[in-house]
Amino acid sequence: MISSISAMPTSEFYQQRAQRFRHEREQIEKVIRRYAWTRVALVLLMGVFIYLGFSDSLFFWLIPVPLAIFIFLVNRQTLQEDNKQLASYLELLNKREAKAILFEPTDFSDGGRFSDPHHPYSHDLDLFGAGSVFQYLNRCGTQLGEERLAHDLKNLPFSEQELLLRQEAVKELGDRVEFKQRVWALGRQINDFSFDRSTLLSWLSEKPFIYGNTLYSVLRWGLPAITLIVVGFTIYDWSYFPLLFIMMIVQITITGFRAKRIGEFQRVLSSARKVLSNYARIFQELANHKVESVLMKKHHTFAVSAFEKVKEFSALVNALEARMNPIAMQFGNGLFLYDFHAVARLEKWREKNADELPQWLESLGEWDGLLSLTTLHYNFPKYAFAEVNSQPVLEGKDVGHLLIPNSIRIVNNFDLGKPANIWLITGANMAGKSTFLRSLGVNFVLGSIGSPVCASYWSMPLIALRSGMRTTDSLQDHQSYFFAELHRLQSIMQELRSGKPTFILLDEILKGTNSTDKQLGSRELLRQLKDMNALVVLATHDIALGNLAEQYSSQIANACFEGKIENDQLTFDYTLHPGVAQKANATFLMRKMGIIPPEVL
């Protein structure tokens, strides 16, 4: 499926949408105020009718009319309050989008809870946390979507076929702005980030204690039937009332024996009711939306099934919660064994849908997470989708970093594995080596999950990713920085020796030892890596390593970032050049900052 997006939207586009939703919100507020004043008038009118009713009873018969209108307006106002909140969230979203497209800081969730400094690559690539890739991508409306997006970024779990299906879905939904933004706004209304699904999922695996129990089935149908017969006799002959009273006490007593278990049952489900009820609204959005891509058709099928059944679940839990009214509890249980029927209906629902509910939630999480990628595609339609190749070759054109604004981003071309499988990147401090490595790593991650990448062309194999760029020490584990770095290199080598093909990004390794030892260790590591099933990019200040390309010209290649000193000013072009860097800047900067005397060469 070819994307239909032809031009990049502007900040003004989103600002206009924000103004549109602000206007909608203001109009809704006017309607709400009219409803409120009308209800006040109706209360006053009912008061007048009551006053006049003491003089003429006809006015008492008129009271139900304004009362019915009052109840109608309460329901309408509740609906309008919901619409107002939705419009407010849509206004907020478009304000954020207007800032995001200009690369200004936004308040989208940064995924800091998913950060892991010991992860094979996510910490090095700034995937999570303030100003992270996750925050820039994240347009998930639900906790489910955020968790799935984070999982995908950290695990790269897709096969080539799955990747192509995801790309197709991203292209299809790219320009569905109304649909995507409405899903986000509905998700904000849900506010499910404090909802713990584990109790609900645990409930799904429990055995029923009412439904399917022969004794309770006889009781919950037999006793109410007998009680209702007694009610009928009591209506015609009041002498049967003591028997009716006894029957009600018996049923209340029976439910009392199970009151604690039913109360726990209710507490578990009540916390899930509101969230699932709102999930049903999101399922409804997709169920009512026409899709054509294979992946979204699958999710559409789930949504159609989930919408009605999740809505039914919420209604059943709501019915169970009616027992919290003391009068309803006494008469409901006394006449009908209401608690038993309410629990049995929920257990019956569980028996039918226990296997499907986790699938519905998983489906929602996947396509909600996918919507973040569709927004990236819509905002930057020139970003390429990855082409998957079966060879150990990684190639990109106009490769840049996703988080650097278009106006200042410098892009580079890159081809690893044609034929050299190792690139040594040399250059002075601040020349752009680390940023370039992160550009490669972030684009590799994005390409691996079906997202557009910050490049005009990107071809890659589906292999593992490892990095060693920002190793951290750990006082808790009694582990020094240097040992932590060695431990990471050890784990990389173990994976390679197990036969796992891997793309490896290393930035200035072995910083914790002297220069001679560092150079020797780096040389020996590169000599091993060149013969392994790996694509490697190593950034280093050690220009002496560059001569390895002369010894292993078909396996190791040199490239560099250079700085330039003119008129006592240091500048960088951040452009990748072939060969080994020839210039350094540390001494120049130390003289310029007054750290060392000016006469030092």
SS (H, E, C) 85-121: HHHHHHHHHHHHHHHHCCCCCCCCCCCHHHCCCCCCC
| 112: its two tokens | 């800091």
Q: Coil, strand, or helix at residue 572?
A: strand
The predicted pLDDT at position 276 comes to 86
Residue 51's alpha-carbon distances to 37, 45, 60, 70, 483, in angstroms, are: 21, 10, 9, 19, 87
The full DSSP string for 583-598 is: ---HHHHHHHTTSS-T
Topology of the domain covering 384-592: Rossmann fold (3.40.50)
The predicted structure's pLDDT at residue 264 = 86
CA 395 from chain centre, in angstroms, equals: 29
Taking the C-alpha atoms of 281, 286, 288 and 293 in order, what is their torsion angle to the nearest 10 degrees?
Answer: 180
Radius of gyration of the chain (CA): 33
Specify the amino acid at residue 52. L
pLDDT tens readout for residues 298-321: 999 999 999 989 989 988 988 888
Closest CA to 424 of 542, 586, 532, 531: 542
Q: Report the alpha-carbon distance of residue 413 to residue 474 in Å, rounded.
A: 37
SS (H, E, C) 477-515: CCECHHHHHHHHHHHHHHHHHCCCCEEEEEECCCCCCCH
Query: In terms of pTM, does the model score above 0.75?
Result: yes
What would the two tokens of residue 478 be?
Answer: 């009694």
Residue 260's alpha-carbon distances to 215, 271, 369, in angstroms, are 19, 17, 40
CA-angle at 165, arms to 161 and 171, nearest 5°: 145
Q: Within 10 Å of residue 456's Cβ, how many Cβ atoms? A: 15
pLDDT for the residue numbered 476: 45
464/82 Cα distance (integer angstroms) = 46
Place of tokens 């900067």: 589
Residue entry with tokens 């800032």: 99
Q: Tokens 């006809």 correspond to what residue? A: 58
Give the per-residue pLDDT at 356: 93
Helix (H, G, I), strand (E, B) or coil at 223: helix
Can you list the residues of the chain whose pLDDT is less than 50?
A: 473-476, 478
Are 332 and 323 in contact by the 8 Å Cβ rule? The answer is yes
Residue 379: which of 22, 94, 89 has the closest Cα? 94
- Number of Cα atoms under 13 Å in the Cβ half of residue 569: 4
Look at residue 590 in the predicted model and tell me its pLDDT. Answer: 67
